[in-house]
Amino acid sequence: MNHKTEHSTGIFAIGTLLATDDLVADEIVSQGLAVKGRQLGWVTAEGTLIEAYRMLCTTRVGDRVVWLLARGEVRSVDKFRDLLRTVDWNNALYAGGNVRVDVTGKVGWVKDTRFAGQLVMDAIRDQASLAERPRPEYESDQPDVRIAVRFGRGQVDIGVNLNRTPLNQRGYRAEGGEAPLRETLAQVMLARLKVDRKVPAIITDPCCGSGTILIEACMRLNQIAPQCHRSSDQLSKWTGLERISWTAITAEERTKERQCKTRFMGFDIDPDAVTRARANIERAGLSHLISVEVGEIKDFSPAQMNISETDQTWILANPPYGNRLGRDDDLVTLYRLLRDKCKAFANASLGLITSERTLVQALGLRSNKKWEMQAGGLRLNIARFELGLKSEQFNNEDNTIPPEEVLPLLNRLSKNLKNRSKLLKYNNINCYRVYDSELPEFNVVIDRFADYLHIQEYRPPKTVDPKSANHRRQLVRQWVPKHLGIPLKQAIYKERFRQSRKSQYEKRAEPLCIH
Ligand SMILES: C[S@@+](CC[C@H](N)C(=O)[O-])C[C@H]1O[C@@H](n2cnc3c(N)ncnc32)[C@H](O)[C@@H]1O
């Protein structure tokens, strides 16, 4: 593949988070380029080297941009070596530069990605040695050049990673605090929610931490390219970089910035988080557009921000969640407090990102839309809710908020799932016991079989009032499937009780399954 002039076209790929390929494809199209192919987390496009660098400067969701040097169908180690030999490494890399190789994707014939990386280094070194150049060294922390290799569906892509540091590192976040949201993830959230479809009067984050959502939203609405502050030192030092002017590309993108009328305001209970957010906002050059104050969710209100009834408002939040901060019981209370505070906004939409679906459910709001994705080993949920008079925003509470009596059981289910989540995920297990009569007042056994629930109810002893036993049974039937995100019709119930010798073989008129 040619990289000899800035105008010769080639293929480049944008690496992205799983389940965000559609967003990257949209970004490519919005730059007037054609999408060549889409695979999980890897979108390819055709364009010039300048266009590839421009994508690097402007992509909000992409993690890296790779200029391809070779691609081909490869199904064995020997074929992979052959493909590596087709690359003119001496022409692409400077003599004496050090290299890092990032291998992603999987194929049966390369079990160990380190082995694939070693084959790349061998090919680079063989060519250098034939040309009597210094031996290129491997460097994982501060390489001059990152080489990317991606295996997928029988095809291998090999190229130069144009960025040396990941694109989520915009340069403004020196300190993230306890649980910072990845910048590219904040952009996935904003894109899914379509925050910029209509310019809102205000965007607010009631628990803004280091300010990521506000900064990324501000950059999006003001059309600020995420990498416009990236220095060329943060780009791979390969010969292709000489053929473009990074300064010219960033300068051109800066001319496209617009100042929108939206106000950006954030709050956090933690004064240190507020200090960090302010420092990050300043580094991003956005102090004149975003303000952040110490504030608690309990005080969150339209009056606090001078919002009128007609002001269209976006409330965006990444509230604390179990894996990073907080305890489960407190979190349910906090999410419900947030819901109650949001009720006061007359013309608002609420967008949440969290790793715990149960917490979103605890809000007791009907979401207009939900998205699920995988990032950093967590399953993330993004949800959008309409608030205020214009929509039937809040569900009938009786129908959506579990009563206090069933909460111990639901909390126990969440706890059990959380404790086992790693084991289940790494072993790809989708049939397992969720709950085994651990709480005396809920004498049930709950098993999950893929998308089905099997709930076995033990008949209570005669000492228990049948009316209250029946009430509890109804609570289990109503809330457990909902809590676990399983449709009611996919929950199967069995009643278990000790039978006398004769009765156990008698025919029953009705089957035991109740839908
Ligand atoms: C998951 S972090 C948010 C991270 C943020 N999105 C970022 O990128 O840095 C949750 C934040 O909620 C804040 N928080 C916890 N309880 C709060 C409350 N009652 N009121 C306001 N903020 C709260 C924490 O201090 C923390 O900064």
328 touches ligand 1 (CB under 6 Å) = no
Higher pLDDT, 432 or 6: 432
Phi, psi of 223 (to 5 degrees): 55, 45
Of 80-89, 440-449, 487-496, the poorest mean pLDDT is in: 487-496
Spatial contact of 63 and 168, defined as CB atoms under 8 Å apart:
yes
pLDDT at 514: 33
Confidence of residue 5 (pLDDT cuts 50, 70, 90): low
Task: Name the residue with the closest Cα to ligand 1, atom 27.
Answer: 209
Q: Which residues share a beta bridge with 15? A: 42, 64
Name the burial class of residue 251, with classes exposed (0-12), middle (13-18) and buried (19+) by CB atoms within 10 angstroms of its CB: exposed
Phi, psi of 140 (to 5 degrees): -90, -30
pLDDT at 136: 95
Of 145-149, 158-162, 452-456, 495-499, the poorest mean pLDDT is in: 495-499
Q: Which residues contact 391 (CB under 8 A, 6 or more apart)?
A: none
The Cα 477–Cα 484 span in angstroms is 12
pLDDT at 323: 53
Spatial contact of 496 and 481, defined as CB atoms under 8 Å apart:
no
Task: Name the residue with the closest Cα to ligand 1, atom 12.
Answer: 207
**Which CATH code of 1.20.1250.20, 3.30.2130.30, 3.40.50.300, 2.40.50.140 fits the domain covering 9-161?**
3.30.2130.30
The Cα 25–Cα 9 span in angstroms is 18
User: Which of 172, 173, 269 for a ligand 1 pocket mutation test, highest count of atoms within 8 Å of Cβ?
Assistant: 269
Confidence of residue 2 (pLDDT cuts 50, 70, 90): very low
Confidence of residue 389 (pLDDT cuts 50, 70, 90): low
As a whole number, the mean pLDDT across the chain is: 88
Given a cut of 60, whether residue 394 has pLDDT beyond it is no
Report CA(363)–ligand 1 centroid distance (Å): 17
Question: For residue range 349-366, what is the model confidence (pLDDT) as tens digits?
Answer: 999 999 888 888 888 888
Joined tokens for residue 392: 């039937």
pLDDT at 309: 86
**CB count, 10 Å around CB of 343?**
13
Q: What is the mean pLDDT of residues 68-80?
A: 94
Higher pLDDT, 253 or 511: 253
CATH class of 183-223+258-401: alpha beta
The Cα 261–Cα 81 span in angstroms is 56
Higher pLDDT, 254 or 374: 254
pLDDT at 513: 36
Report CA(302)–ligand 1 centroid distance (Å): 19
pLDDT at 390: 46
Of 310-314, 345-349, 462-466, the poorest mean pLDDT is in: 462-466
Residue 401, sorted as left (phi over 0), alpha (psi -120 to 50) or beta, turns out to be: beta
Of 213-227, 268-282, 336-350, 398-412, the poorest mean pLDDT is in: 398-412
207 touches ligand 1 (CB under 6 Å) = yes
Joined tokens for residue 383: 């949800």
Given a cut of 90, whether residue 157 has pLDDT beyond it is yes
Give me the CATH topology for the region 405-505.
Transcription Regulator spoIIAA (3.30.750)
Question: For residue range 316-342, what is the model confidence (pLDDT) as tens digits?
Answer: 999 997 654 555 568 889 999 999 999
Question: For residue range 197-210, what is the model confidence (pLDDT) as tens digits?
Answer: 989 999 999 999 99
pLDDT > 70: what percent of the chain?
91
Given a cut of 80, whether residue 510 has pLDDT beyond it is no
266 touches ligand 1 (CB under 6 Å) = no
Given a cut of 70, whether residue 502 has pLDDT beyond it is no
**How is the chain split into domains, by residue range?**
9-161, 183-223+258-401, 405-505
